[in-house]
Amino acid sequence: VILILLHLSRIAKILNQPKKTLEYLENGLELCKSGNIPLGLIIKLHKKLGKTYLLFNQLNKAKTHFHIIINFLESNVTDINDQVILADTYLSLAKINLKEENLSEVKLRFNKALNISKGSLKIQLKYFYERAKYNKKTEKMAYAIKLLKQALNLPGLDENTIQQHEQKRSKLIKK
């Protein structure tokens, strides 16, 4: 049932029905309270809820879900997937802290994400991009550009990823 609710939330998101998206995700989370639900599924629901609330600028609710993920995973990382989820969660919290202009917390979250993200090229790219946005906001444009160039030098990037990153870089510099 929970997987069906996850799929329905995805469809609602595609159809631009934010209230339905949240309703399906919240219902899925309620069903998890009945017990015997794999931890990975619970974390997935919290991640989707956090990202959805962040998208709708409901920062406190988003933070709540991201902190739950951190509480689950910080002491129980079992594989690379858990590391990726944890690093991505820290990047999402950094994004929230940036919106709240809590710059000291942003740095802390970035450092935690970077330390964890060594195994994931996708998360490392996201780290460099979010860190560049932070440096632009703090009026350190030269450092932001340097970070974006560093991202392009990560080993293992394919041509498509490089082109996508170049587009993000150009967009960030123009803003």
pLDDT tens digits for range 63-101:
999 999 999 998 877 777 888 899 999 999 999 998 998
Report phi then psi at 120, rounded to 5: -130, 115
- pTM equals 0.83
Q: How confident is the model at residue 59 (pLDDT cuts 50, 70, 90)?
A: very high
pLDDT tens digits for range 115-131:
888 778 888 888 888 88
pLDDT above 90: percentage of residues in the chain? 38
pLDDT tens digits for range 127-164:
888 888 888 877 888 888 888 888 888 888 888 877 87
* Contact yes or no for 117/82 (Cβ under 8 A): no
Predicted confidence at residue 164, as pLDDT, reads 79
Predicted confidence at residue 119, as pLDDT, reads 72
What is the average per-residue pLDDT within 41-45? 93
* Contact yes or no for 86/74 (Cβ under 8 A): yes
Q: Is the pLDDT of residue 175 over 70?
A: no
Query: Phi-psi bin for 85: left (phi > 0), alpha (psi -120 to 50), beta?
Result: alpha
Q: Which tokens sit at 47?
A: 């991640």
Q: Where are the domains of the chain?
A: 120-175
Cα–Cα distance measured from residue 6 to residue 14, given in angstroms and rounded to the nearest whole number: 13
Q: Which tokens sit at 68?
A: 């739950």
